[in-house]
Structure 1
Amino acid sequence: MKQLTTTIITALFCAACGTSPQNDSRALVLSDTKIIKITHDTPHPIRADNARIIGMDEMLDRVKSIDYIKLDSSEPVGVINKMIVTKDKIFILDAYVAQQIFVFSKMGKLLYRIKNKGRGPKEYQSIRDMQVDTIRNEILVNDALARSYLYFSTDDGAFLRKETGVANCYLAHIDSLYINYQAPEQDFNDNENWAILVSDKDSILYKGFEPTPLQNDNFINNSFTYD
């Protein structure tokens, strides 16, 4: 009996060790995906020899005006991970503490919150990033954990729709395409690693910007702050 138990445990151990990360059901297959290539007939050099340092006073002299808006504190914001200011609203993303989006008027009044955290069809498991489309009046919520994109109305925060996406940390939506910014190895693909995946929902169209070994263990920051 002991010999049988030892044999079973050994077999399970060997099977586990022999399982490649490439066979992970979460792995993205990218072998046939087109690579983004940046080409230009005449390279444009970035020159820093004429750059100069300016102090805070000089910088403030260039600012036309500064407005201070006291925000309604009836529902406290934990951390401001991202803020988007439009013509009539202020959108604040608290991704990790409250895990909500707070929407204020330009007078600082809290209009509504997007707090649909859960596992339902109209809910998100995580809220890593947001985009605000002032043309379609939509808020795009990036649920990186569930690999989905959720849309809410900018008018009242009502749920609009949910789309299947791909693995990412941060997200930008341009026309019908999604620009997915990935952390190293986030695609669970043992053979390929790319910082940018361009997709149409969950269909990957392009891949680009392969990280160097120096970047593999680095912390990444949201480069999609501005629309």
Structure 2
Amino acid sequence: MESLASQFGLELRSAVQRNISPITKLAFQLFGLCFTSVLFLSCNANSQNQISATDSKDVELIAVEEIKPSKLSDVVDSISYTRLEYHPDHRARRIDKVIIEDGFVYTFDYSFGKSLSVYSLDGSFQFAITNPGQGPNEYRAVHDFLVDKGKIEILDIGGKMLFFDEQGAFERSIKLPFSAQAFIKIGDDYLFQTGKKLNELGRNGNSCEVIQYNLESKKTDCLLEINNDRRINGSWEKDMLKRVGNEYYYATGFNDTIYSKQDGYFSPRFIMDFSLNGLPEEIFDKNVSVGEFVQFQSNNPEKFYHSAGIQVSSDFLITRYSSDGLHHLIYDFKKRNKAALEFRVKNDVDGGLPIPFTYVLNNRDIIVVYDSEYVLGRASELQKEKNQFSKKEQAFLDFANKLDTDSSLAMISYHLK
């Protein structure tokens, strides 16, 4: 099979001249877009996926290399804490996804505890779903979950869906005619991310990456055909599909494009430009093993790539990229400002913990759920580092004093300026 390096050869030479990455330029071509150094204008074409300057949002290029990492205090002005009550039914060890919906907090540990726990906003435990197994009411390897009007839906491996009521009681399960890695509701339908594997879910039998599907009628519409295969086998991604109001967003790792749903299809909304410092195209050749790919990344940590995982609110979009370690990219929709935070940037707001992951973006609050041991450990370190504390540092220490080793989790909210 022709290598990706060969396929992109001409694009690479053109991109070098323009100082734009090949995959960035390709994304524009795939959607009928012309690039100039300043403006993005639509070209005439017949594709339904085309973006026009008059009936869709502008595509915005984000020059990632030009964004200098910020201090936490540059983007966060306050931090608040909530102790999530311990309960024996809850057995989470590592939280994979958090949803805040209608006054409740839903946390799910997919891999270790395999437990979904529900809390009120003050941290009071409500109930848990802990059903690992292979029965009709059990899940084997959870890919995603959602909450719809208080009811909980779980997407399991192999296209199995499980439905639970508002109190966590099992209702039913179904088997989808396809496998999916992520899903969200869109009216009476669902959007499913069906991955980069070959399928016939697209128009004219083409492979489709995101579909809209109705459980009752079985009607299937392809909203984004697979346009590149920059997905490494064995990768496990989360937070690929997001909704805020009537806006829908989609992104995957190693693809520098963040899509939004426009005119019934997913089209580019943001393109992360890594210039010439991104991962080289040849490393994505199908003949390159996962081990070789990981080894290349290890030997070239300075190379940029999109790590995906998106969180969206009406005010902000947050995603991740890697270059000498992971970074959070924070985009302000209203101000169109961009900020970058290093993965483990020192917390200079209250001396507490950094932001390792963005579990959910709740309005202007980045929500992170920590094991209480990390909070207690950081509080102990802070007390050794200094003798006098600011008001915010003392608030962090006071919260830590309410925890003990038997405490379950701590929910921390970082309020964006």
Same fold (TM over 0.5): yes
Name the SS of the counterpart of 2:152 in structure 1. strand
Q: Of 141, 144, 156, which aligns to 1:143?
A: 156
CA contact (8 A) 2:92 2:114 kept: no
1:163 equivalent to 2:178? Answer no
What secondary structure sits across from 1:197 in the alignment? strand
* DSSP-derived class of the 2:75 partner: helix
Which residue is equivalent to 1:205?
Answer: 221
Unaligned runs of 5+ in 2: 1-46, 245-417
Distance 1:142 1:186, change over 3 A: farther
Q: Distance in 1 between matches of 2:200 and 2:70?
A: 45
The alpha carbon displacement at 1:175 in A equals 1.2
User: What's the CA shift string for 1:34-75, capped at 9, x where partnerless?
Assistant: x972433436141557977542112122x5x52332431533
Cα distance in 2 for partners of 1:186, 1:115 equals 33
> If each structure's helix is expressed as a fraction of its own residues, which one has the higher value?
2
State whether structure 2 residue 196 is matched by structure 1 residue 184. Answer: yes
Q: CA 1:226–1:92 in structure 2 vs 1: closer, same or farther (change >3 Å)? A: farther
1-structure distance, mates of 2:169, 2:50: 40
Q: Which amino acid aligns with 2:193?
A: Y
Alpha-carbon shift at residue 97 of structure 1 (Å): 1.1
Q: Which has the larger share of strand?
A: 2
- Residue in 2 that maps onto 1:32: none
Structure 1 residues 124-181: Cα deviation after superposition (integer angstroms, max 9, x where no partner): 3332111112xx3211111232x22222122x10123333323111111211211111
Q: How far apart are the structure 1 equivalents of 2:232 and 2:151?
A: 34
Question: Which residue of the partner structure matches residue 56 of structure 1?
Answer: 72
Question: Does the CA-based 8 Å contact 2:196-2:226 persist in structure 1?
Answer: no
Q: What is the letter of the counterpart of residue 133 of structure 2?
A: G
Kindly indicate whether residue 94 of structure 2 is the aligned counterpart of residue 101 of structure 1.
no
CA distance in 1, matches of 2:132, 2:198: 22
- 1:73 to 1:159, Cα distance in 2 relative to 1, 3 A: closer
Percent identical pairs in the alignment equals 16
Residue 165 of structure 2 is matched in structure 1 by: 153
Match of 2:74, SS?
helix
- 1:219 aligns to 2:231 (yes or no): no
Partner residue in 2 for 1:13: none
C-alpha change, 1:226 and 1:215, in structure 2 (3 Å) is same
Match of 2:137 in 1: 122
Matched-pair contact (CA < 8 Å) for 1:180–1:198: yes
**Distance in 2 separating the partners of 1:112 and 1:36:** 45
Give the 3-state SS of the residue equivalent to 1:221 in structure 2: coil
CA distance in 1, matches of 2:160, 2:80: 37
Could you tell me which of 109, 120, 126 is aligned with 1:111?
Answer: 126
Separation in 2 of the partners of 1:158 and 1:129? 18
State the alpha-carbon separation in 1 of the partners of residues 130 and 48 from structure 2.
Answer: 36
User: What code does the residue aligned with 1:160 have?
Assistant: E
- Equivalent pair of 2:103/2:121 in contact (CA under 8 Å): yes
Q: What residue in structure 1 maps to residue 187 of structure 2?
A: 175
Q: Residue 368 of structure 2 aligns with which residue?
A: none
**Structure 2: how far apart are the matches of 1:167 and 1:203?**
16
- Using structure 2 for the length normalisation, give the TM-score: 0.39
Match of 2:338 in 1: none
Q: 1:71-130, CA deviations, whole angstroms, 9 ceiling, x for partnerless residues? A: 315333121110012343211111111222111222323321112333333333332111
For residue 60 of structure 1, what is the amino acid of its counterpart?
Answer: V
Equivalent of residue 80 in structure 2, options 59, 62, 66: 66
Alignment RMSD (CA, Å): 3.2
- What amino acid is aligned across from residue 194 of structure 2 in structure 1? Q
- What stretches of structure 1 of length at least 5 have no aligned partner? 1-34
Q: Distance in 2 between matches of 1:172 and 1:95?
A: 17
Structure 2 CA distance, aligned partners of 1:143 and 1:137? 19
**Equivalent residues, number:** 186
Q: Tell me: CA distance 1:109–1:55, structure 2 relative to 1, closer, same or farther (3 Å).
A: same
Corresponding residue for residue 20 of structure 1: none
Change (3 A) 1:106 1:197: same
Normalising by structure 1, we get a TM-score of: 0.67
CA distance in 1, matches of 2:213, 2:100: 27
Task: Deviation per CA, 1:5-58: give whole Å up to 9, x if none.
Answer: xxxxxxxxxxxxxxxxxxxxxxxxxxxxxx972433436141557977542112
